[in-house]
Structure 1
């Protein structure tokens, strides 16, 4: 039994062994088949991944090429903004039916002639191309309209809508140029400094960047006439001049700059208001002499004379800077009053004479109904509150070179007023005049230098001490020329006394080396270090009072405005228009402005004026510019909304076509890879 059981086990083991031997080759074969299938699938998947990667990469490249149209756009942000100057125009076509429907929703009795387009922009661009070819790029800011003649494919021009620039969509649509001017500086890729032009301004002589800005002088300012009077017989030179003018003591004139409130005080306060230091420093008091008043007060009183009209200073400053005490008896009140009245009369006569001589519209300074004039007065009041009362000038009709950084600083200071103007859908008497505010902000902003910085300016040899020569330079800038020897001796005495006090109180004695050539032979000056000046109150105050306050921005008021600009008010009188246009022909200038003030009731005359204006423009600019389409072409779309919709559809269609093309190329490539052996064999057979 045991043998049989053992034999059975051996037989079963043999059968299992034979079964295993038989099944192993079959399993190996099946494993190889599965392996081949798996590898084949992986290979196919790899091909598909590579193919679709190629397709996606191809589509991305095409999309990037569609977005980047030119090499100039790709490198635009790398161009030096300091040297590049762009031009910004604001434009509207009031003859368009859609514009008429839009404006009628908010105002039915608007003046249609104000928004009428007479092709001024077309000829202004021609003049820009002819006389300012250095301009990098031109931006036209519109409410969405497109000039039918404009070549949108030209690389140097871009059309920007209000929607792209404003941060407050609720203010749109806006029909106020004052509101539009508050956000033109937000144009993407706009140069740091840009030239802002109205479409009614054209060039008629060579314009260079140096006519607008130089590194040494800063921005050029072209003034015209003074800001309109705040009331009848109340020019701004009367306001805040220290003399009470009762007829100007009204809210419109800011209550005479508080002059009448000061006049109602005691006689002692009146005398204090006109307290005048000696204009010339001939006898210098000693440092311990207090009978004649503070010596530093007399130091501060010695300043360089300035022209009253050019600087726009008040009567109070004029009195302080004049030789009043030599001509009049200060104790004679009647004589002082006569002098004040005489001064005011002369000032008013000069201002009126200057206004008449300027080539501006005759009713501009006197018109009380013109919103533009009222907004100028409003802006001037705003400037008075911030920078003090003075007679300011309206800018000439030229292009305005604006700096984005300065505009941002101005927006911080006048944010509420700018926001209020931006929310006015139509022009308002309480709008700010943007360019007028900008240039006066630029000319009024100041910075204060420290004593250390002023000391370094006079320390020309960087020795850390002031030599006798450098002290003399300092004295010539605070005293009249010729320099009185008494002033030199007084300064020497002040510095010696300060040095004794300073070095006796100083715990740590600092050694300063004063070179031999820094001292005159008979000099008694001490070692004048920066620490000594900072601890010498009299000298320190003299430095700060004369040299601390500086202009924050560089600017130069150009006195030759008449050489650079022409202005004409276009009216419905045909004869006057012909005469004015002939004056422009006779004397062309860099900037020429033809403003529009047509009577909407005189349609026949207005049509004739339009034809005369067209003929005038063609006589100077007969040839088309690169900004224009050829004569037999015109834009299919006259609104950016329609144009953008068409461009979107075009891009979508192009992308679909590119994707289909890429798929077909991918399929063909994968087919070629799959059957490359057969293809090679057929090619060999054919050969």
Structure 2
């Protein structure tokens, strides 16, 4: 009886224990779920307005905002800038104040705002706002020897280094504002990646050569200069054995072990460059002898092929260059004297016949080209531009070399979403150019223009797709073989439609020929063909992944068409007119009022009002300032939480002054604490002493 009671007690205890364990587990799960739920809910409230936007946000990723700001009328700044360039005083329109108002009104989902300055503080800025952090240049520049800097490209190159910054952040200039509600989907989506807004084309490389002529398959003499990347190789007489020579016209010349020709007005010229890097079998006249593989290319802006190839030949062989003179050019000789550029520093031709020195000479001269400031040394068809346009052309030439020639446009002047991972990849790829940009004290023609560099790197980077992945892409039924239906789909995506019968037959013949040439051990691999894989009259063998991978013509075709894919997802917004409004403001009051009325009538999502006032028209500029201030107040009348109350202003306008005051305050505070501690200690000791005596 006792045993039975004990057994029943043990059983009841086990049930109670299990119930307790289950309840504890359920309690833990409910606690965890509640915490996770609160975390998710709180994340929708982690923004500059402190309100939950869960019902409006489609995606919840933390996005911060970075502003770069400078007070152009600051006397200290003006004094520092005088060491580097002539400057004029700048009228301040307080764009930053109104940009922050627009941010809080139309982009409340932003998590935090970082203001990057050289130490200046706006007098109206509330430094106690927990959603605002002022960042000085010394906090983000790895190389402090580059400071001080007054170059916005140099500063922009380091803004992604701000401590605590979100991995994706919005970068704004202070003259950029929001005119309508914007959301993260206006910048990035899960399905299509980052949205790219483009505006006007990159400036032409010269007045006589638009970029559309470069690398278009036609040789354009006016484009065959360094600033136009030598016509993208269109004037190459041959693309083999690229050996650079640099003549007195500062054109690089490529010579190879082949004949090349230039045809103009029924006159043919050919040359052959032999293994010892000298010319032979040159004949000038109506016919050319001993020529082979002569290439004829269409030529725009024709000019005569005159006389310096022979001069170069004589120099290489230590002979006189009289009586004939030939111009050595990078790829195509130019004789028109009005197209010949001024002479740069001469390059000694000695040792050019020494093959060990060829690459070193070429590298040296290419560096000379890249390092040269564009100005009077450019070809006559070129006109100097402002440094912004020059930096665009500089990056465009750089990307032409790195990613190939393509027409490029300037990103729209608007908030730019920057991914820190992509920015780090970009700067690692072009580290030398970004270091040079960082070192500039003021804007420079050889700056890496921030938005243009970022977005075209984003759009240009590709990754190689393995042939096995390409096979799987078209193996839609996952059978391990390609059916006739799948092959038909492949061909329609590979060639122009309508698909010709010859294309299909050629592909099938390549497959059958490769099948016969497979090694015996590979051909013995038996892959069953699923039913209905072949059309009734099909003669194809089993098209397996092994067969496709080992069949060179098929593999080459697949790699050419599908062998690369975008490294980063992006989507180009084709029509930006409904989203972006850019106005270049000048001192003409009538035009200014008309531009601002257009903004009032139809505010776009992104508004940029760029200051282009004439400093010589001081009276008109005062009126312009009042008109612009009135427009700002009409669009954004409510102060933001980033502003001090109107009756207050910051005592210190420089971080050094503020930091010095805070240091003194902390010292005084510490002295007061020490004195209080001593007083309290003395009081306690006196009290204890009195109590002990009595």
CA distance, structure 2, for counterparts of residue 270 and residue 659 of structure 1 = 91
Whether the 8 Å CA contact 1:478–1:546 is kept in 2: the answer is: yes
Give the match for residue 481 of structure 1.
497
Q: How does 1:284-303 map to 2 (within 5 A)?
A: none
Whether the 8 Å CA contact 1:92–1:117 is kept in 2: the answer is: no
CA distance, structure 1, for counterparts of residue 261 and residue 591 of structure 2 = 53
Is the counterpart of residue 555 in structure 1 residue 530 in structure 2? no
Give the match for residue 600 of structure 1.
615
From 508, 520, 534, the counterpart of 1:505: 520
1:487–1:252 distance in 2 versus 1, CA, 3 Å:
closer
From 69, 77, 80, the counterpart of 1:99: 77
Residues 10-64 of structure 1: CA distance to partner in whole angstroms, max 9, x if unpaired? Answer: xxxxxxxxxxxxxxxxxxxxxxxxxxxxxxxxxxxxxxxxxxxxxxxxxxxxxxx
Deviation, structure 1 residue 174: 1.0
Whether the 8 Å CA contact 1:82–1:193 is kept in 2: the answer is: no
Give the match for residue 360 of structure 1.
none
Other structure's SS at 1:614 match: helix
Q: How does 1:451-600 map to 2 (within 5 A)?
A: 451-502=467-518, 505-506=520-521, 509-600=524-615
Give the match for residue 230 of structure 1.
205
Whether the 8 Å CA contact 1:200–1:595 is kept in 2: the answer is: yes
From 393, 410, 415, the counterpart of 2:426: 410
TM-score (norm 2): 0.68
Deviation, structure 1 residue 462: 2.8
1:658–1:438 distance in 2 versus 1, CA, 3 Å:
same
- Say what the alpha-carbon RMSD is for the aligned residues: 3.5
Deviation, structure 1 residue 429: 2.0
Whether the 8 Å CA contact 2:206–2:383 is kept in 1: the answer is: no
Comparing both structures, which one devotes a greater share of its residues to helix? 1
Comparing both structures, which one devotes a greater share of its residues to strand? 2
CA distance, structure 2, for counterparts of residue 651 and residue 462 of structure 1 = 71
Whether the 8 Å CA contact 2:103–2:177 is kept in 1: the answer is: yes
Whether the 8 Å CA contact 1:142–1:161 is kept in 2: the answer is: yes
Deviation, structure 1 residue 265: 9.6
Whether the 8 Å CA contact 1:82–1:192 is kept in 2: the answer is: no
CA distance, structure 1, for counterparts of residue 106 and residue 231 of structure 2 = 46
Structure 2 unaligned blocks of 5 or more: 1-44, 48-58, 239-253, 263-295, 303-381
Other structure's SS at 1:195 match: strand
From 82, 87, 91, the counterpart of 1:110: 87
Deviation, structure 1 residue 657: 6.0
1:669–1:510 distance in 2 versus 1, CA, 3 Å:
farther
Q: How does 1:165-204 map to 2 (within 5 A)?
A: 165-204=140-179
Q: How does 1:82-481 map to 2 (within 5 A)?
A: 83-107=61-85, 109-113=86-90, 116-262=91-237, 368-481=384-497
Give the match for residue 307 of structure 1.
none
Deviation, structure 1 residue 182: 0.9
Other structure's SS at 1:481 match: coil
Is the counterpart of residue 646 in structure 1 residue 661 in structure 2? yes
CA distance, structure 2, for counterparts of residue 106 and residue 640 of structure 1 = 23
Whether the 8 Å CA contact 2:126–2:642 is kept in 1: the answer is: yes
Count of residue correspondences: 511
Other structure's SS at 1:160 match: strand
TM-score (norm 1): 0.68
1:467–1:648 distance in 2 versus 1, CA, 3 Å:
farther
Whether the 8 Å CA contact 1:228–1:373 is kept in 2: the answer is: yes
Deviation, structure 1 residue 553: 1.2
Residues 630-649 of structure 1: CA distance to partner in whole angstroms, max 9, x if unpaired? Answer: 11111121111122233334
CA distance, structure 2, for counterparts of residue 165 and residue 455 of structure 1 = 47
Deviation, structure 1 residue 495: 2.3
CA distance, structure 1, for counterparts of residue 526 and residue 123 of structure 2 = 79
Deviation, structure 1 residue 99: 1.9
1:553–1:194 distance in 2 versus 1, CA, 3 Å:
same
Whether the 8 Å CA contact 1:118–1:610 is kept in 2: the answer is: yes
Deviation, structure 1 residue 622: 0.4
Whether the 8 Å CA contact 2:220–2:299 is kept in 1: the answer is: no
Deviation, structure 1 residue 558: 0.8
CA distance, structure 2, for counterparts of residue 546 and residue 559 of structure 1 = 25
Structure 1 unaligned blocks of 5 or more: 1-70, 74-80, 272-332, 341-365, 683-687
1:450–1:664 distance in 2 versus 1, CA, 3 Å:
farther
Deviation, structure 1 residue 628: 0.8
CA distance, structure 2, for counterparts of residue 510 and residue 671 of structure 1 = 100
1:491–1:215 distance in 2 versus 1, CA, 3 Å:
same
CA distance, structure 2, for counterparts of residue 527 and residue 666 of structure 1 = 95
1:662–1:553 distance in 2 versus 1, CA, 3 Å:
farther
1:424–1:339 distance in 2 versus 1, CA, 3 Å:
closer
Deviation, structure 1 residue 425: 0.7
Give the match for residue 356 of structure 1.
none
Whether the 8 Å CA contact 2:124–2:650 is kept in 1: the answer is: yes
CA distance, structure 1, for counterparts of residue 80 and residue 148 of structure 2 = 8
CA distance, structure 2, for counterparts of residue 534 and residue 562 of structure 1 = 47
Other structure's SS at 2:662 match: helix
CA distance, structure 1, for counterparts of residue 214 and residue 632 of structure 2 = 44
Deviation, structure 1 residue 575: 1.4
Whether the 8 Å CA contact 2:222–2:301 is kept in 1: the answer is: no
Whether the 8 Å CA contact 2:221–2:300 is kept in 1: the answer is: no
**Bigger relative contact order (CA 8 A; separation at least 6):** 1
Structure 1 stretch displaced more, 639-648 or 660-669? 660-669
